[in-house]
Chain A
Amino acid sequence: MSHDAFHGRLEDDRMVTGSGTYTLDWDFPDTAHAWFVRADRAHAEIVSIDASAALAHPGVIAVLTGADLEAAGFKSLPVITMPLKPDAMKPLMPFRPCLATGKVRLAGEAVACVIAETQRIAMDASELVVVEYNELQPVVDSLDALKPGAPQLHDDVPGNLYWDYEDGDRAGTDALFARAAKIVKHDLYNHRVVGHPMEPRCCTGVYDAAKDQYFLYSPTQGPRMQASMVAKVLDVPTDKVDVVAKDTGGGFGIRSAPYPEYCVTLLASKKLGRPVRWNGTRSEVFLTDNQARDFICHGELALDDKGKFLAMRFFIVANNGAYLAPTGLLAQTRSVTSCITGVYDVPVSHARIQLVATNTAQVSAYRGAGRPIMSMLLECLVERAAIDLNMDVVEIRRKNLIRNDQYPYKLVNGTTYDCGDFEGVLDDALKAADWNGFDKRRAESARRGKLRGRALSTYIESTAAGGIPDDAQLLFEADGTISLKSSSHSHGQGHETSFAQVVAGVLGVPMNIVKLRTGEAGMRVGGGGTGGSRSMVSFGSSYLLGAREVVKKGREFAAKELEASPDDIEFDHGEYSIKGTDRRISLMDLAKKYKGSAGEPHPLNSVGSGKWGMTFPNGAHIAEVEIDAETGVTEIVSYIAVDDIGNVITHALVEGQMQGGLTQGAGQILGEHAIYDRDTGQLLTGSFMDYPMPRAGMVAGLEVLDHPVPTKLNPLGAKGVGEAGCTGALPTLANAIVDALRPVGVTHFDMPATPQRVWQAIQAAKAGNPRALQTYTLEYA
């Protein structure tokens, strides 16, 4: 593997000079423009839609409603399902239309689509569409929605309960709890956030009548994955849909699946015989992009009298919103419980998660996809145990870590960790953070009038499992470059650089002749998209195998060229040579010479493929925060992240991913919060005037350290890094903030730690209420 010094990413020049090709940079002649009429209320029956005035507006071409989609045979937007135990409840998956029919279930739901000669005309005309509603009471809080008599969203989802999911061993867990010396309980609310890719939802739908082919130009994390879902809605074979994309401006999980508007523009294009473009706004991101989190969590930990963990049990209520997002089942259940007992040696445990329908935006996978829910609940529970039992926060963890001699380590739900060095990771973090010097730093902060807190958290997550084989094609081009083709689409991670580095490392060629191509029209390469921190693990491994295959094939040609037996040929730094001689030829010269017959594929072309399984990145993070008690402002002053992500391909890109993930986690902890009005169901934080995004520099004093324990589950030995920062940051920062507030009497504090909430918590604690900022309480059931 090549480990040359990092000289920036291959895609950087394009990105930083604004010459990328994002969705709306694709330009087509004769394009019509779509604009969506959206529900101005959260829950209502649609009595009528009158588009006559809009249709009469000059420049308007058409207005589509749900009835048009029904007539065209549109199916529901799909939901990804998973295998179930035979006795398990089946999830209820109500129809999710691309334009509301009969009812609107969230404020902002698309009701009609106006198509006009220009975007401005479409916007003007959309104000002329008259929708008559019969208003219904909305419900936005998941516990409210579960109450008897609550407003019902879907006829086929009684009690607003999409799914009652269980994982682990309930009876065995209860038995251990019955004989525990101590039981510790903790409640927390993992509040709702809005994912904010830089590029809002947008698309151009192009129907090619001659080929009877749909081309969707849209932001995407995986063109074929997205195409397959669009095809389900259109009710056509997957092959009839091409998703085309070059650059995608951020994804975080919420750009993995198609949105209703995308399918509508494709139908509109078919009806009108013109490309139809939709330029979505930031307001529409807020209202109807897939949102994230919103879990009410309750955890219990049973311990023996020496502080050893016996069992854990969890009851979680997840607010899934008005419809199930495509990843709304998976990310909200199995992804939460896959690493159910974290890095701890706890043989028995149980979790129950209820997925609830409310009049809010649908919730989906979002950086970490469920794992940050469990890491936060688990680590806040362990922290609570240390405080309640007066144990050292390091020792309680150390005592219960899975030891290196316990691998493979099988969890109660069958998840099996292949390797790790949890104590080694922990010790690295303690050392890097100068753990024992904290009291001095706390005293120094106090002299400046600041409350200093710190916390250690461990985390472990499962990266997205294989599912289907991920193919990696290596194609020798006539211009002397090598094309890489695969189905995972970068939304900013640096795939062009990482995959080129893997391939160039094996082939001994310059990285800049290796060109990654993913979202091209007509491209059909087997595999999934990016998501669940899987691209390097899976596609990286497939490229590695593909590159080795190239070397193997090349050996035959080299033998011919050098007139020797293939057994006598060795390959090193891009050159074949006869062992012990100076007779040699480079791979690229061979490729030029032996290009096969015209019209045939190049004989060196190769495909690597594999169904790479789950890996388990893990780490120990230590954060220190300072709180200005006078104003409630919290600042992160240092953050040490020690991570075992297996073999590191490019540390700089790993560090970039960790910075991004940690900052995204910090954003949620320090302020991001999607708040719906409980009476009206309106989103109160619908713009950046009210929704604070994390800013550069928010995570001050950040140090990212590698502690690689290579996995044998894939040939790269890599474990995945895309989400690890976020999974680690939520519990680490939350616990550090509570640690800072404990000396002023606060014992419980639900995030986000906005200045006002922190100040209120301090005032309430002074007045004798140490848990004033606790949002919910649940009982295990």
Chain B
Amino acid sequence: MYAFQYRKAKSVDDAVSALAADADAKVLGGGQSLVAALKLRLAQPSALVDLGTIGDLRYIKVGAAEVTIGAMTTHATVAASPELKKAIPALADLAGDIGDRQVRNMGTCGGSIANNDPAADYPAACQGLVATIITNKRRIAADDFFKGLYETALEAGEIITAVSFPIPKRAAYMKFKNPASRFALVGVFVAETSAGPRVAVTGAGPGVFRVKDMEQALARKFAPESVAAIKVPADDLNSDMHAQADYRAHLITVMAKRAVEKALK
């Protein structure tokens, strides 16, 4: 890696002012994407502002209608939370299958969402559960937050502090893993929410997206056969050595069907 300054933030405000003072500084969450990029010399920030020492960003609050997760809560904590497993088991499942044990012990919910890797799992949960992303400045609906490849609605100096997930009637996440990286080649999050059924897909396109045809079919009947024949056009999907677009399109249907089956179990 290239040399950089390292700074522990005392609070979110402290982090924001550090970022304001240095345009090339970057926020460090759990570091599971950023540190890897630094090691490969793919990123050259002037400074890292570490949120890791801000204790009040690490929590899981389960309410009657929603679950709120602090931005610096690790995937391992989310996966192991008994309250969350009861409220939204699909979300605990999803967190428990991110990366490997080491990644889950360091990687954070807020970091994953802010990074918006096109193959990350959390964005699918956010759109699938109609979540709200809470920052130091405002509340942003998940549908408005993710803007495609590594792009989000976050502005300069804006830091995610928490994510609020409404508790669905039922939900499930099915991930087809890239055989090498184990990231989602195609991940489909389905849920029956108070806003209607949701089908959110990660890994397959330049960013997370919803499949409205499937959502409408599930609104008529929440059953695997409702989505089994619905094809997603391959045109806008990712194509690479692990999965060409037609294979990815096919996998979306298969994973959606299996996710609905799982949600009904």
Contact residues of A with B, CB < 8 Å? 120, 123-124, 283, 630-632, 670-671, 675, 684-685, 688-693, 754-756, 759-760
A692 partner residues in chain B, CB cutoff 8 A: 179-180
Do B241 and A685 touch across chains, with their CB atoms under 8 A apart? yes
Do B241 and A760 touch across chains, with their CB atoms under 8 A apart? no
Give the shortest distance, in Å, between A60 (CB) and chain B (any CB).
15
In the complex, whether B181 has a CB less than 8 A from a CB of chain A is yes
- 28 pairs of residues in contact across A and B, judged by CB atoms under 8 Å: A120-B1, A120-B3, A123-B41, A124-B2, A283-B40, A631-B176, A631-B251, A670-B179, A671-B179, A671-B180, A675-B241, A685-B241, A688-B180, A688-B181, A689-B181, A690-B181, A690-B241, A690-B242, A691-B180, A692-B180, A693-B180, A754-B179, A754-B242, A755-B176, A755-B179, A756-B242, A756-B247, A759-B250
Which residue of chain B has its CB nearest to the CB of A760? B247
A755 partner residues in chain B, CB cutoff 8 A: 176, 179
Give the shortest distance, in Å, between B32 (CB) and chain A (any CB).
13
In the complex, whether B254 has a CB less than 8 A from a CB of chain A is yes
Q: What CA separation (Å) do A80 and B15 show in the bound complex? A: 60
Contact residues of B with A, CB < 8 Å? 1-3, 40-41, 176, 178-181, 183, 241-244, 247, 250-251, 254
Give the shortest distance, in Å, between B223 (CB) and chain A (any CB).
18
B242 partner residues in chain A, CB cutoff 8 A: 690, 754, 756
Give the shortest distance, in Å, between A49 (CB) and chain B (any CB).
21
B254 partner residues in chain A, CB cutoff 8 A: 630-631
Do B180 and A756 touch across chains, with their CB atoms under 8 A apart? no
Extra 5 A-B pairs, beta carbons < 8 Å, given A688-B181, A760-B247: A124-B2, A631-B176, A689-B180, A692-B180, A759-B250
A689 partner residues in chain B, CB cutoff 8 A: 178, 180-181, 183
Give the shortest distance, in Å, between B240 (CB) and chain A (any CB).
8
Q: What CA separation (Å) do A780 and B50 show in the bound complex? A: 64
Q: What 8 A-B pairs are tightest by C-beta distance, nearest first?
A: A692-B180, A692-B179, A689-B181, A671-B179, A630-B254, A690-B180, A756-B247, A756-B243
Do B181 and A756 touch across chains, with their CB atoms under 8 A apart? no
- Interface secondary structure of B, over-half rule: loop
Which residue of chain B has its CB nearest to the CB of A693? B180
B247 partner residues in chain A, CB cutoff 8 A: 632, 756, 759-760
Give the shortest distance, in Å, between B167 (CB) and chain A (any CB).
31
B179 partner residues in chain A, CB cutoff 8 A: 670-671, 692, 754-755
Q: What CA separation (Å) do A759 and B242 show in the bound complex? A: 12
Give the shortest distance, in Å, between A754 (CB) and chain B (any CB).
6
Which residue of chain A has its CB nearest to the CB of B250? A759
Q: What CA separation (Å) do A755 and B254 show in the bound complex? A: 14
Which residue of chain A has its CB nearest to the CB of B248? A756
Which residue of chain B has its CB nearest to the CB of A628? B254
Give the shortest distance, in Å, between B233 (CB) and chain A (any CB).
17
Contact partner, B244, options A630, A670, A690, A756, Cβ 8 Å = A756
**Residue in B41, B176, B242, B244 with the greatest tally of chain A CB atoms within 10 Å:** B242
Which residue of chain A has its CB nearest to the CB of B181? A689
Give the shortest distance, in Å, between B259 (CB) and chain A (any CB).
13
Give the shortest distance, in Å, between B66 (CB) and chain A (any CB).
34
Give the shortest distance, in Å, between B8 (CB) and chain A (any CB).
22
Give the shortest distance, in Å, between A686 (CB) and chain B (any CB).
11
Which residue of chain B has its CB nearest to the CB of A124? B2
A630 partner residues in chain B, CB cutoff 8 A: 254
Give the shortest distance, in Å, between B252 (CB) and chain A (any CB).
12
Q: What CA separation (Å) do A681 and B143 show in the bound complex? A: 42
A124 partner residues in chain B, CB cutoff 8 A: 2
Which residue of chain B has its CB nearest to the CB of A673? B241
A685 partner residues in chain B, CB cutoff 8 A: 180, 241
B250 partner residues in chain A, CB cutoff 8 A: 759
Q: What CA separation (Å) do A755 and B244 show in the bound complex? A: 11
Q: What CA separation (Å) do A755 and B250 show in the bound complex? A: 12
A688 partner residues in chain B, CB cutoff 8 A: 180-181
Contact partner, B241, options A123, A631, A632, A684, Cβ 8 Å = A684
B1 partner residues in chain A, CB cutoff 8 A: 120
Q: What CA separation (Å) do A120 and B38 show in the bound complex? A: 13
Q: What CA separation (Å) do A685 and B179 show in the bound complex? A: 12
Q: What CA separation (Å) do A759 and B179 show in the bound complex? A: 14
Give the shortest distance, in Å, between B23 (CB) and chain A (any CB).
22
Which residue of chain A has its CB nearest to the CB of B257? A630
Q: What CA separation (Å) do A691 and B178 show in the bound complex? A: 10
Give the shortest distance, in Å, between A287 (CB) and chain B (any CB).
13
A756 partner residues in chain B, CB cutoff 8 A: 242-244, 247
Q: What CA separation (Å) do A631 and B251 show in the bound complex? A: 7
Q: What CA separation (Å) do A666 and B247 show in the bound complex? A: 24
A760 partner residues in chain B, CB cutoff 8 A: 247
A759 partner residues in chain B, CB cutoff 8 A: 247, 250
